[in-house]
Chain A
Amino acid sequence: MCGPLLCTDRGIIDNYKNYIDMLQNYVPILIFLAIALVIGVVPLIAGMLLSKRVPEVAKDSPYECGFEAFEDSRGRFDVRYYLVAILFIIFDLEIAFLFPWAVALRDIGIPGLLAMAFFLTILTIGFIYEWKKGALNWD
């Protein structure tokens, strides 16, 4: 019986080889990301080298409608953005829980379904509470 990582009928060495095989699949991804990084950086460097920089006070100031900026732009902003961020974390975690469950659902059957239904019910109650509290309103 061989899982994605461990084979129950093999020794430690073979399992280790299995693990290394799995890691080897990620080597092209590492190279890919490195080359993607290069392809992202090269145009910027080329742009810096090829373009002429003529600094000027008005040009280098933050974009405004012809005014000097009154204050630092990093001021206060609406609390609802924080709220969205917090709700996002909760729901994203939920998705992280759902992913392995969804893949394994065929194997775990009805007990697995009930366990997740219980979890989702609690979350849905929380979601309804947020909704009723008006955390999702933007007007």
Chain B
Amino acid sequence: MMSYWYAIPELYRDLFVTSVLIVIFLLALMGAVAYVTFAERKIIGYMQVRIGPNRVGPRGWLQPIADALKLLTKEMILPSKSSHFLFRIAPVLSIVPALGAWAVIPLTEGVQFSNINAGLLYVLALTSMGVYGVIVAGWASNSKYALLGALRSAAQIVSYEIAMGFALVGVLIASGSLNLTDIVNAQAGGITHWYWLPLLPLFMVYLISGVAETNRAPFDVAEGESEIVAGFHVEYSGMGFAVFFLAEYANIILISALTALLFMGGWLSPFEGYAALLSIPYVGVHLFEFFSLILKIPFVDVLLGAGPHWFFIKTSFIIFCFLWFRATFPRYRYDQIMRLGWKVLIPVTLVWIFVEGVAIAMQVGPWFD
């Protein structure tokens, strides 16, 4: 058996192994996406003093699978006046960028499918492609609600993409690299070195833009039920709708992962950089004894050190924030959304980029060296 395997040229073996890993990774990602929808219903349920879905499986844990099976067997309506080809490919245009961007996301140092120099540029390029799915779906549906929803969504997405791009420029100035691994490593040195603190305004801008980019509450006028029903995907049913739905949640996970990588130190441990505490007289000795005791417990040193688990925890936290926002904030009006994007976030980022650029070029500031 093994001899057959080694008879295959190395190149094809590598390609095969890579493909299998990618399939496993993407299926796991889709599973995660399905369970983010479940988490959303549960979390928002508890925030509204309900218990959320609890009928399918133990405590409702099989709910996403039941939803998927239900949508799989539902009729896929093809509106008679729609542009059939565009109508069918729009969901695909929406989900491929949301999944494809993961090709360069490092889970921890060295664990990623491709470590390219232009990693962040690739991610930004792919996330920008997502707007095509929205536009094409709205146009192809040939329905007033869908078209209005698509216009609103598209205008909102591109507006916030500018603020988001400027926020990323700030990260690039601070890290001096487009490579995602390098960006994380540039944040090494403890929780106060992660860019959320030195680049606090940009972090806020990025987070707000991320929520607006994914058309989530409180920026979800594109699917404001009381105004234009479901927005651009109003004509979609069955699996067509499901794929749009998955794309939206895949985008949430992607944006959260990017926030964790760019502003929250990715896989770096928050317990890093406190060695100085041990040199404090008297207290330091006790701290040292405490830590040497703790670290004797198996795996604790692994858990406290840098690793993919921190990346998952941080990503999950930001996903939780996305759901929290939805449960907390009332919906913005459309003109307020556009005003926030153009008249608040863009000027803030411009000013901060200027400040940061001066600090770097003059080589001042404790954070920028």
A35 to B166 alpha-carbon distance, docked (Å): 31
Query: Is B358 part of the binding interface, using a Cβ–Cβ cutoff of 8 Å?
Result: yes
In the complex, per-residue mask of B141-162: 1 if CB is within 8 Å of any chain A CB, else 0: 1111111100100110011011
Known: A92-B165, A105-B360. A73 touches B100 (CB 8 A): no
**Which chain B residues lie closer than 8 Å to A73 at the CB level?**
142-144, 146-147
A61 to B79 alpha-carbon distance, docked (Å): 6
A73 to B178 alpha-carbon distance, docked (Å): 43
Known: A33-B100, A64-B144. A53 touches B76 (CB 8 A): yes
A138 to B159 alpha-carbon distance, docked (Å): 13
CB of B164 to closest CB in A, whole Å: 9
Say which size band chain A's interface belongs to.
35 or more
Contact A84 B158 (CB under 8 A): yes
Query: Is B103 part of the binding interface, using a Cβ–Cβ cutoff of 8 Å?
Result: yes
In the complex, per-residue mask of A9-20: 1 if CB is within 8 Å of any chain B CB, else 0: 000000000000
Contact B243 A40 (CB under 8 A): yes
Query: Is A46 part of the binding interface, using a Cβ–Cβ cutoff of 8 Å?
Result: yes
**Which chain B residues lie closer than 8 Å to A62 at the CB level?**
79, 81, 141-144, 146, 235
Known: A32-B102, A36-B100, A51-B74. A102 touches B162 (CB 8 A): no
Q: Nearest residue in A to B156 (C-beta to C-beta)?
A: A84
**Which chain B residues lie closer than 8 Å to A64 at the CB level?**
143-144
In the complex, per-residue mask of A99-116: 1 if CB is within 8 Å of any chain B CB, else 0: 100110110011011001
Contact B92 A32 (CB under 8 A): no
Query: Is A129 part of the binding interface, using a Cβ–Cβ cutoff of 8 Å?
Result: no
In the complex, per-residue mask of A45-80: 1 if CB is within 8 Å of any chain B CB, else 0: 011101111100101111110000100111001101
CB of A112 to closest CB in B, whole Å: 7
Contact A47 B71 (CB under 8 A): yes
Query: Is A44 part of the binding interface, using a Cβ–Cβ cutoff of 8 Å?
Result: yes
Query: Is B226 part of the binding interface, using a Cβ–Cβ cutoff of 8 Å?
Result: no
Query: Is B283 part of the binding interface, using a Cβ–Cβ cutoff of 8 Å?
Result: no
* Contact residues, B149-194 vs A (CB, 8 A): 151, 154-155, 158-159, 161-162, 165-166, 168-170, 172-173, 176-178
Query: Is B293 part of the binding interface, using a Cβ–Cβ cutoff of 8 Å?
Result: no
Contact B238 A47 (CB under 8 A): yes
Instruction: Enumerate 28 A-B pairs (CB-CB under 8 Å) in ascending A order.
Output: A22-B117, A27-B15, A27-B114, A29-B116, A32-B114, A35-B22, A39-B27, A44-B76, A48-B76, A53-B75, A62-B141, A63-B145, A84-B159, A88-B158, A88-B159, A91-B346, A92-B162, A95-B169, A99-B178, A105-B360, A109-B361, A110-B362, A113-B360, A113-B361, A127-B346, A131-B343, A137-B335, A139-B335
Q: List 8 extra interface pairs beyond A63-B146, A136-B338, CB under 8 A.
A: A27-B15, A28-B114, A29-B122, A33-B103, A63-B229, A73-B144, A92-B165, A103-B178
A residues contacting B by CB (< 8 A) are 4, 22, 25-29, 31-33, 35-37, 39-41, 43-44, 46-48, 50-54, 57, 59-64, 69, 72-74, 77-78, 80-81, 84-85, 87-88, 91-92, 95, 98-99, 102-103, 105-106, 109-110, 112-113, 116-117, 120, 124, 127, 131, 136-139
